[in-house]
Amino acid sequence: MELKLSNLTKEFKDVAAVDHISYTMTTGVYGLLGVNGAGKTTLMRMLCTLIKPSSGCITWNGKDIFELDGEYRRLLGYLPQDFGYYPDFTVYDYLMYVASIKGLRPATAKQRTARLLKQVGMDKEKKKKMKKLSGGMKRRVGIAQAMLNNPSILILDEPTAGLDPNERIRFRNLIGELAQERLVLLSTHIVSDVAYIAKEILLMKEGKICVAGSLKELLAPMQGQVWSLDVSKEDAETYRKNYKVANVRIIPKGVNLRILSGQRPSENARPESVLLEDVFLHYLGEGMVEEDVSI
Amino acid sequence: MCRYELKKVFLKTGGKIALLLLLFLVGVTCYFATNIFYVDGKGDKKYGPVAVRELRAMQKEWAGFLEEEKIRQVITENRRIRHSKEALSDETRENEIAYSWGQGISEIRNLLNYSYASHFREYDYYRADSLSETDAGDFYANRVSLLKAWLDEEAKDTFSDKEKAYLMDQYHRIQTPFYYNYMKGWTQLFAFSPTIIMISMLILGYLVAGIFSNEFVWKSDSVFFSSVYGRNKAVTSKIKAGFCITTMVYWGSVILYSGFILLYLGADGMNCPVQADISGWKCFYNITIWQKYLLVIAGGYMGCLFISFLSMLVSAKTKSTVLAVMVPFVLIFIPSFLANMNSVFVNKILSLLPDQLLQMEAALNYFSLFTIAGRVIGAVPILLVVYAALTVAIGPVIYWGYSRKQIS
């Protein structure tokens, strides 16, 4: 089981949304991290055969996925970032319809739909119209539809976007359960979504993968480069200008800064253990997103 | 899959409203089509089933072959009525009483007005009143001679010699005498058939317009196209759904409409030639009323299918439901603007546009001829064959275009 990206490029007019990416994935969860506009969705759309690459190729077990066509899509489950649905369908009808276009026989479709509805906690809502569901419920139906054909490749594009913290934890656990024996590619701009469950994490910036590896491998080079420092409010601004600051926290005597630096920024600075968001900031040059604070 | 595609269309509030609107408009059209009156012996107008019964009974008295003797009797009866003191009176009620006597022969009297006109394109309501019994023998001969005179003079540059010969041949070939019967059910049905078919088409345009584009509007395109059948069978099922919707909605409204009109007004006269009715007197297609009905509904179906498929093609190509909804409007209403141009060439083109299929009743009466491989042929058979072929051809174009869509 091998999904291989070789020199993969997608250009829109003069802009390369995906720029010469080469990478190989097998079973397990792969976390794709990047800021908005990094090219994550374009990459995922190519992996789902929704758009063709400008150059390069994607192979599944050595065969081009666009040549495999339906044979490849039979193995695929996809939850897009903008998860669209048929507003007047009930949850059950929606899943049965998706099952039919995924080539499931009606008896199998009924079985799988019933099982997945329970698994995502939507069995009591199965007669509700899709348009009446909350954002979290829609996402759960989204993951259920992606799992209907028991896919070998599960591609989830920003699956936790718009969910509240409880929903996100629940969702993350669900993905962890589903990840056995399959390849899961999970795109997000929320660091903690992948920190706990990803086998490998890919950091994407301006269409390129700038760094990739396991959580341990990503954290290791950053050891000894993360510091905690208490300063006055006036000094805080100077530190923010001179260092990459991962976090700012108000304390009674002033401000606590989380600083990324190869050198100890101050005599009073205390070394801290490295977190994934520090790596995110280091490579992508932007701070963690707001949602992370609550996790 | 097709079942779910149908659900997508009919579960929408807009889809339900469109069907209810169609049902309402069919009802309104049926009301106007059956709203005929009869004037009784006292000069009072009557409506409803009584009027239908009385008018039918009166006209059925004159049913039979329109032989010279029968034409003579109609001329005599018409003169008797027109010269009665009631007809000559200044009192409206007296005139109405005279009118009531003529209701049995009114349809044949209309044919006399055409047959004995001074020009092919003339219709003089009072022409029949100036006829004498000795004119009866010219009833069928006039039909041919008026055409000949028209082709030789007014329309001499409109048709080629071959086309003129074809028209003359068609007029000569028709079997005479015509069989006449009460046929109000059919004439009313034909009169409102373009309305019902065009209403059905506009509603259909709305229903099928979103079949392809709504996947993008609802943002369900990614899941659709990443599924195993998303680029083959699921696309075919959308085309099938469009075909099923067009078939169900069209035949539903046409059967409802025809059934109601014919049950209410009667289906008598179906074997009469179309020329035995005023609306078909000049028609060069030698067919019966029943055959005309089949052509009208088959043409309507063909037209609806073609326009529905064209809407679906626009929907699939542009991803825009709005543009797709506009297709029927453009195809139905643009030709009516162009019709004002007095050009033989433009008229020939117009007679081949798909809106003609929706108003086959009128298309059958147009003198629109084409010479293909040395053979003269009317526009009606061309319309049926060409648009059937185009509809069949559009299917693969939709499939080919949609199944290769990229998600931007």
pLDDT of residue A289: 42
Distant-in-sequence, close-in-space partners of B405: CB < 8 Å, separation ≥ 6: B221, B225, B316
Band of residue A242 on the pLDDT scale cut at 50, 70, 90: confident
CA pair distance B72, B79, nearest whole angstrom: 11
CA distance A176 to A104: 25
Q: What is the C-alpha to C-alpha distance for residues A65 and B231, in angstroms, rounded to an integer?
A: 14
Q: Return the C-alpha torsion angle B324, B326, B327, B331, nearest 10.
A: 180
Which of B180, B199, B229 delimits the end of a domain?
B180
Same domain flag for B361 and B350: yes
Q: Show the tokens assigned to B225.
A: 């196209």
Most confident of A144-148, A238-242, A287-291: A144-148
* Residue (of A11, A77, A66) closest to B231 by Cα position: A66
Q: Is residue B22 part of a domain?
A: yes
Question: What per-residue confidence (pLDDT) applies to B225?
Answer: 95
Rounded to a whole number of angstroms, the distance from the CA of B229 to the nearest CA of chain A is 5
Contact A101 B230 (CB under 8 A): yes
pLDDT tens, A199-234?
899 999 889 999 999 988 988 888 888 999 999 888
Residue B77 covered by a domain? yes
CB contact under 8 A, B226 and A49: yes
In chain A, the residue whose alpha carbon lies closest to the alpha carbon of B1 is A100
- Predicted local confidence at residue A61, as pLDDT: 94
Whether B154 and B226 share a structural domain: no
The Cα B196–Cα B56 span in angstroms is 25
Residues in chain B, pLDDT under 70: none
Residue with tokens 């009027």: B51
Q: How many CB atoms lie within 10 A of CB A211?
A: 17
Same domain, B264 and B195: yes
Domain shared by B276 and B199, yes or no: yes
Q: pLDDT digits over A35-50, tens only?
A: 888 899 999 999 999 9
The residue type found at A163 is L
Whether A288 shows a pLDDT value over 50: the answer reads no
Q: Is A166 exposed, middle or buried (0-12, 13-18, 19+ CB in 10 A)?
A: exposed
Among the partner residues A76, A86, A103, nearest to B220 by beta-carbon distance = A86
Order across the sheet with A183-188: list the strands: A76-79, A153-157, A183-188, A28-34, A200-205, A208-213
- Residue closest to A281 by CA, chosen among A230, A238, A222: A222
Q: Report the Cα–Cα distance between both ends of chain A, in Å, rounded.
A: 34
Round to whole Å and give the CA distance between B61 and B258: 25
Across A105-114, A183-192, B247-256, least confident range: A183-192
Q: Are B262 and B282 in a shared domain?
A: yes
User: Hey, what are B68's tokens?
Assistant: 């010279």
Look up tokens 């959580």; give the residue: A215
Q: Could you tell me if A47 and A154 are in contact, meaning their C-beta atoms sit under 8 angstroms apart? A: no
Asked if the structure places residue B50 within a domain, the reply is no
Query: Of B152, B180, B208, which marks where a domain is finished?
Result: B180
Asked whether residue B173 falls in the same domain as residue B189, the answer is no
CB B71 within 8 A of CB B114: no
Is position B51 within any domain? no
Model pLDDT, residue A286: 58
Q: Are residue B116 and residue B167 in the same domain, yes or no?
A: yes
Q: Which residue range forms the structural domain that includes residue B205?
A: 2-34+183-403
Q: How near does any CA of chain A get to the CA of B158, in Å?
A: 55
B407 → closest Cβ in A50, A96, A101:
A50
SS3 content of chain B, % helix, strand, coil (to 5): 70, 5, 25
Domain count, chain B: 2
Residue A207, classed as helix, strand or coil, is coil
Q: Which residues contact B208 (CB under 8 A, 6 or more apart)?
A: B9, B242, B245, B246, B308, B311, B312, B315, B324
Residues B190 and B147 in one domain: no
As a whole number, mean pLDDT of residues A94-116 equals 95
B265, part of any domain = yes
Going from the C-alpha of A273 to that of each of A197, A222, A223, B62, the distances in angstroms are 19, 9, 7, 108
Residue B246 sits in the same domain as residue B131:
no
Going by the DSSP 8-state scheme, the letter that residue A254 receives in this structure is E
User: Is residue B396 in some structural domain?
Assistant: yes
The ipTM estimated for the assembled molecules is: 0.87
Q: What is the DSSP letter of A129?
A: B
Q: What is the dihedral of CA A129, A135, A141, A145, to 10 degrees?
A: 110
- Whether residue B47 is contained in a domain is answered as no
Q: What whole-number distance in Å separates Cα of residue A45 and Cα of residue A53?
A: 10
Q: Are residues B163 and B248 in the same domain?
A: no
Instruction: Look at residues B180, B213, B234 and tell me which one is the last residue of a structural domain.
Output: B180
How many angstroms separate the CA atoms of B120 and B107, rounded? Answer: 19
- A267: confidence class by pLDDT, cuts 50, 70, 90: confident
Residue in A210, A206, A192 with CA at minimum distance from that of residue A278: A192
Domain shared by B335 and B202, yes or no: yes
Residues B240 and B333 in one domain: yes
Q: Which residues pair with A31 in a beta bridge?
A: A186, A201
| Mean pLDDT of the region A75-98 | 94
Chain segment B99-113, per-residue pLDDT in tens = 999 999 999 999 999
Token pair recorded at residue A118: 């329970």
Q: By percentage, how much of chain A surpasses pLDDT 90?
A: 50
Nearest chain A residue to B227 by CA distance is A102
User: What pLDDT was estimated at residue A168?
Assistant: 80
DSSP string over B264-314: HH--TTTTSBGGGSGGGTT--S--BHHHHHHHHHHHHHHHHHHHHHHHHHH
Nearest to A86 among B218, B227, B407 (CB): B218
Nearest CA in chain A to B408: A51
- Cα A184 from Cα B347, distance rounded (Å): 64
Question: Residue B45 domain-assigned?
Answer: no
Chain B nearest CA to A237, separation (Å): 42
Evaluate if residue A287 carries a pLDDT over 60.
no
CA nearest B229 in A: which residue?
A101
Domains recognised in chain A with CATH numbers: 3-214 (3.40.50.300), 220-288 (no CATH)
